[in-house]
């Protein structure tokens, strides 16, 4: 089964439960197949948790959810030592981060220290405790959510920690047609949708994911596309609307995302359209607006779209 077929099979199963979020699903799967992590931002009730649970179900992977709160400690996520009276020894008890799919709900409500412990685990794909490193399961992917409306009692993620996420995906309200389908199909269960009860079947194995990641790494990127990505990065650094532009890591993430989208479309090579498709989600959390631009009420997406139009596209 090709990566395109696996992608279509997963999409088909997710569509049984989640409606009107096609772009979010595409980015979620691109991150999964590219060894990335996803930050989902959207108002409550837009199926952020349900989406992650459903993807995990299609892959037969373990799923855990952590509600991030101000009193949550790093050990509540990564694990801690327990004293065993019988042996007089301390034993490391693994926390919820030891899973395939981790949902960190409302990550900006946790303290900076707790956020940092989670993001370190995401970066290292392991947890170091008392000098011993415990590897996380393979595959491992973190989905973190944050609510753009409520700011009281939150700890915004610093830029260096935001950079750990491959994508920041905006999860909007569904369009009227999708919303009517949601109301029609989900009202009988009182809004408590269960992917298993709704017939979502596992269609891809963990080994399929590991294999797909290798295919994506081997996707061809021609020199003109690399130059195009470099020109986009330079444009973010030279624009007066931005006080912080995109880093080389942002360019690497953009290429990995583009390679995923190329494979989803059945191609083994990247075209500029793939770069453009991934551009906003890769860049919006990695650039910082200048104070003057922020005062004008201009959004980062608007500045980035203008940059995308200003850079010449290779043929």
Same domain, 223 and 129: no
Render pLDDT for 23-65 as a digit per residue (tens, 0 to 9).
899 999 999 999 899 999 988 877 788 888 888 888 878 889 9
In this prediction the pTM is 0.89
Same domain as 252, residue 186:
no
* Euclidean distance between CA atoms 286 and 168, whole angstroms: 9
* Least confident span in 72-76, 96-100, 132-136, 197-201: 197-201
Asked whether residue 136 falls in the same domain as residue 56, the answer is yes
Please report whether residue 315 resides in a domain: no
pLDDT, position 46: 79
Per the structure block, which two tokens stand in for 172? 């909007």
Q: How confident is the model at residue 67 (pLDDT cuts 50, 70, 90)?
A: very high
27 vs 304: CA distance, rounded Å: 18
Strand partners, 144: 39, 104
d(Cα 65, Cα 101) in Å, to the nearest integer? 8
Mean pLDDT within 233-251: 94
Scan for tokens 């952590």, then name that residue: 66
pLDDT band at 231 (very low <50, low <70, confident <90, very high): very high
Q: Which of 154, 179, 210 is the last residue of a domain?
A: 210
The answer to whether residue 303 is domain-embedded is yes
Same domain, 12 and 146: yes
The CATH number of whichever domain residue 283 belongs to comes to 1.10.8.80
Is residue 182 scored above 80 in pLDDT? Answer: no
Instruction: Check whether 268 has a pLDDT greater than 90.
Output: yes
Last residue of one domain, picked from the residues 185, 210, 235: 210
Establish if 196 belongs to a structural domain: yes
Give the model confidence (pLDDT) of 125-142 as tens digits: 999 888 888 899 988 999
Q: Is residue 105 part of a domain?
A: yes
Q: What percent of the chain has pLDDT over 70?
A: 96
Which tops the pLDDT comparison, 194 or 312? Answer: 312
Please report whether residue 41 resides in a domain.
Answer: yes
pLDDT score of 188 more than 70: no
Same domain, 159 and 223: no
At residue 98, the pLDDT reads 94
**More confident call, 192 vs 123:** 123
Structure confidence at residue 103 (pLDDT): 92
Q: What is the CATH number of the domain that holds 131?
A: 3.40.50.300
Q: What is the pLDDT of residues 219-229, one digit of tens each?
A: 999 999 999 99
Q: Are residues 204 and 224 in the same domain?
A: no
Residue 189's CB: how many other CB atoms inside 10 A?
11
30 and 100 part of one domain = yes
Average pLDDT, the chain: 88
Question: For the ranges 11-15, 233-237, 243-247, 262-266, which has the lowest average pLDDT?
Answer: 11-15
Round to whole Å and give the CA distance between 146 and 144.
7
If we measure between CA atoms, which residue out of 80, 201, 67, 198 comes closest to residue 130?
80
> Are 226 and 133 contained in the same domain?
no
Measured CA to CA, the distance from residue 137 to residue 116 in angstroms comes to 20
Number of domains the chain contains: 2
Band (pLDDT 50/70/90 cuts) for residue 179 is confident
For 305, the domain range is 219-310
């Amino acid at each position: 089964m090709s990566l395109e077929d696996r992608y279509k099979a997963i999409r088909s199963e997710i569509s049984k439960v989640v409606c009107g979020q096609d772009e979010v699903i595409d980015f979620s799967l691109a991150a999964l197949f590219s060894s990335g992590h996803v930050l989902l931002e959207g108002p409550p009730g837009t199926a952020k948790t349900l989406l992650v649970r459903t993807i995990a179900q299609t892959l037969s992977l373990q799923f855990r959810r952590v509600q991030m709160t101000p009193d949550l400690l790093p050990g509540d996520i990564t694990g801690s030592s327990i004293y065993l009276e019988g042996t007089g020894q301390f034993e490391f008890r693994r926390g919820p981060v030891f899973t395939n799919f981790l949902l960190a709900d409302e990550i900006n409500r946790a303290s900076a220290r707790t956020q940092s412990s989670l993001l370190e685990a995401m970066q290292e794909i392991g947890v170091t405790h008392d000098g011993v490193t415990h590897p996380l399961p393979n595959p491992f992917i973190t989905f973190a959510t944050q609510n753009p409306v409520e700011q009281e009692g939150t700890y915004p993620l610093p830029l260096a920690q935001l950079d750990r996420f491959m994508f920041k995906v905006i999860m909007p309200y569904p369009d009227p047609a999708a919303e009517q389908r949601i109301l029609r199909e989900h009202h009988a269960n009182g809004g408590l949708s269960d992917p298993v009860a709704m017939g979502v079947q596992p269609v891809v194995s963990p080994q399929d994911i590991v294999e797909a990641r290798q295919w994506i790494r081997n996707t061809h990127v021609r020199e003109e596309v690399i130059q195009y990505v470099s020109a986009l990065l330079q444009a973010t650094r030279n624009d007066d609307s931005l006080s912080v532009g995109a880093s080389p890591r942002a360019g690497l993430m953009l290429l990995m995302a583009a390679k995923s989208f190329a494979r989803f479309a059945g191609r083994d090579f990247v075209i500029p359209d793939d770069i453009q498709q991934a551009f906003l989600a890769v860049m919006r959390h990695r650039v910082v607006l200048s104070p003057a631009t922020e005062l004008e009420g201009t959004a980062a997406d608007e500045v980035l779209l203008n940059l995308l139009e200003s850079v010449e596209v290779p043929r």
